[in-house]
Amino acid sequence: MYKDGRGGKVHKMSKTTAMTGAESAAEAMRQINPDVVAAYPITPQTAIAQNFANYVANGIVDTELVRVESEHSAMSCCVGASAAGARVMTATSSAGLALMWEIVGVAAGLRLPIVMEVVNRALSAPINIHCDHSDSMGTRDLGWIQIFSENAQEVYEHTLIAVRLAEKLLIPAMVCQDGFITSHGVENVEIFDDEGVKKFVGEHKYPYGLLDIKKPVTHGPLQLQDYYFETRSQQIPVMEEAKKEFVKIGEELGKITKKKYPLFDEYEMKDAEAVIVVMNSTAGTTKTAIDAMRKEGKKVGLLKLRLFRPFPYKEVSDALKHVKKIAVLDRSVSFGANPPLYSEVKNGLYDVKYTGKLHSCVFGLGGRNIFVEDIIGVFNRLLDGKLKDHDYIGLREE
């Protein structure tokens, strides 16, 4: 490590350090060095903005940090800065994401490549600061790319991919991680060398910047019955492209990290009779359960989604169609409808005429713990045919 001209620390080589998911997100942001960050503190996201604010205060990054009075303002500020042509990032959780909801849709509608760290936390009421996915699920139809991360390492790497992906397609992207479990849990994270990452991330060249006086543009004009439909429809095919681009950009990052970034990970799926589909940190718990059960000869596997929006229907269905028993684990619910992840998986399986047994399991709302034994329990019930079609894990039902 040495100091650059501004007194910033430059990491010449990759290093493995113990850090939290919030710190690894802030570390990615340090390397990305966005032009503008506008954020408002909210548990458990605060740790990201706080760590990043340190980098700003110490002159390690060039970022203009805007301390706004609410998340609605945070996203509004991001929209303005992004339309001006800046590389823009923010971070939020739960009620914060809910409060900025209106402008989250604006960012996507205006095709502004903002990257947002979402630290997943339950929505009120009852008020609760712990993890579930109802916050990002609430924004799943707003036109953002949504990438879910199992651990702090993935948060770091997904953030780097998200910047490239967003700026390539001009779609905003959110990188999700589990509140407290990932954001405040300490683990080893490998941070790659600043130069290599800087080169990978590259420069943001936005073609419609408001500050380009030679090319005057208007962002956000009114469109009524005559053009709104056409403009909105443009967001559909470009989302499809995001799947291919995610993999392509992932391959490029893989040259630095020596890792792979598929749309979803398949763990012990080859001969699996029973498979769990899940996102974020519970995928790690599931892997541990699988390792233990495989030792006993039980054929169990995991499909861990990285990309939830756009949802890779065909790819997921092809991977799952020969599996006899599937349990989709959702850390959120959709009241009066199927849980979000289950709903998508089921949707895709219709197209491949799936004949196996598909179950929905809701777990972990409001941070309710989920342990390896719970996952083993789901697998055993799944294998024995004792799992209900719509089941819960860790809920006191009676």
Partner 1 sequence: MSRLKSAKEIPIGGLIDEAGSSRKFKTGDWRSFRPLIEESKCINCMMCDVFCPEHCISVKEDGKRGEIDLDYCKGCGICANVCPVKCIKMEEEAKFIK
Nearer to partner 1, 54 or 223 (CB): 223
Q: Which tokens in the block code for residue 80?
A: 């303005």
The label of the residue with tokens 């492209």 reads 241
Is residue 223 near partner 1 by the rule CB under 8 A? yes
Q: What is the C-alpha separation between 131 and 386, in angstroms, rounded?
A: 28
Is residue 233 near partner 1 by the rule CB under 8 A? yes
Q: What is the C-alpha separation between 318 and 133, in angstroms, rounded?
A: 25
Is residue 208 near partner 1 by the rule CB under 8 A? yes
Is residue 215 near partner 1 by the rule CB under 8 A? yes
Could you tell me the CA-to-CA distances from 121 to 19, 227, 246 in Å, in that order?
20, 37, 25
Stretch that binds partner 1, among 33-41, 96-104, 108-116, 331-339 (CB under 8 A): 108-116
In the bound complex, what is the minimum distance in angstroms from residue 316's beta carbon to partner 1?
28
Is residue 287 near partner 1 by the rule CB under 8 A? no
Is residue 355 near partner 1 by the rule CB under 8 A? no
- Candidates 168, 184, 198, 219; binder of partner 1 (CB under 8 A) is 219
Is residue 320 near partner 1 by the rule CB under 8 A? no
Does residue 136 contact residue 97 with C-beta atoms inside 8 Å? Answer: yes
Stretch that binds partner 1, among 120-128, 214-222, 287-295, 384-392 (CB under 8 A): 214-222
Q: Regarding beta strands 274-278 and 264-267, do their DSSP bridges make them parallel or antiparallel, or are they unpaired? A: unpaired
Measured from the Cβ of residue 255, the count of other Cβ atoms closer than 10 Å reads 10
Asked if the peptide bond before residue 126 counts as cis, ω within 30 degrees of 0, the response is yes
Sign of CA dihedral 271, 275, 280, 284: negative
Nearer to partner 1, 25 or 103 (CB): 103
Nearer to partner 1, 228 or 371 (CB): 228
In the bound complex, what is the minimum distance in angstroms from residue 216's beta carbon to partner 1?
4
Is residue 102 near partner 1 by the rule CB under 8 A? no
Nearer to partner 1, 76 or 257 (CB): 76
Is residue 230 near partner 1 by the rule CB under 8 A? yes
Is residue 214 near partner 1 by the rule CB under 8 A? no
Is residue 110 near partner 1 by the rule CB under 8 A? yes
How many chain residues bind partner 1 (CB under 8 A)? 21
Is residue 221 near partner 1 by the rule CB under 8 A? yes
Is residue 109 near partner 1 by the rule CB under 8 A? yes
Q: What is the C-alpha separation between 47 and 42, in angstroms, rounded?
A: 9
- Supply φ then ψ for residue 202, to 5 degrees: 70, -170
Is residue 17 near partner 1 by the rule CB under 8 A? no
Does residue 233 contact residue 223 with C-beta atoms inside 8 Å? Answer: no
3-state secondary structure of 349: helix
Stretch that binds partner 1, among 88-96, 216-224, 256-264, 377-385 (CB under 8 A): 216-224
Is residue 10 near partner 1 by the rule CB under 8 A? no
- 69: burial class by Cβ within 10 Å (0-12, 13-18, 19+)? exposed
Could you tell me the CA-to-CA distances from 169 to 158, 243, 249, 332 in Å, in that order?
16, 11, 12, 29
Does residue 340 contact residue 136 with C-beta atoms inside 8 Å? Answer: no
- Candidates 2, 218, 335, 336; binder of partner 1 (CB under 8 A) is 218
In the bound complex, what is the minimum distance in angstroms from residue 250's beta carbon to partner 1?
24
Query: Where along the sequence are the contacts to partner 1 (CB under 8 A)?
Result: 109-112, 170, 208, 215-221, 223, 226-228, 230-231, 233-234
